[in-house]
Amino acid sequence: MNEVFLDTETTGLSFKEGHKIVEIACVETKDLISTGKIFHKLINPKRSVPEEAFKIHGHSEKLLNSKDTFDKIADEFLNFIKGKKIIIHNAPFDLEFLNGELGLLKKNSIDKNFVIDSLDVARNKYPGASNSLDALCKRFNIDLTRRTKHNALLDCNLLREVYINLLD
């Protein structure tokens, strides 16, 4: 079974409070080695992007207004992840947004049995330590110089490196 490293960027912290996905990225691997297959989309959230969110990911309303909405990319996304193990850092956050969006479209939610939360793996291995993606990159000497803002595609690639180190 192939794996997919997945990350999203959003307009805020809670789907239930009306926040939406603005970026989704997936990087496919086989035995944790990149297959070269990538799913990456910027998404029109059809709502404002709060200044706090813009400071984190740098995706402006002006940029996002010209992008497809989630309903236009949902099937392509679901086909990309279908039958693959999904590795997410802080999975409950991303899954709340993804399953919320999928629910609005009356599509099946992502099966949690296919999801590995790398944050849980890190917390089990390093209890009590900071286990953010940045902290884990620093712990494993993974280069963070490219990460000036949160970017779903870059974060997927960083997560893959972190996850490999967590398993060793």
Instruction: Write out the catalytic residue numbers.
Output: 150
Residue 57, Cβ density class (10 Å: 0-12 exposed, 13-18 middle, ≥19 buried): buried
Counts for the chain of helices (H) and strands (E), in that order: 7, 5
CA 128 to the chain's CA centroid: 24
C-alpha torsion sign, points 56, 57, 63, 66:
negative
Looking up tokens 């709060």 gives 50
Strand order of the β-sheet with 3-10 is 33-42, 21-30, 3-10, 85-88, 115-117
Burial class (CB in 10 A: 0-12, 13-18, 19+), 85: middle
* Cα distance between residue 26 and residue 87, in whole Å: 9
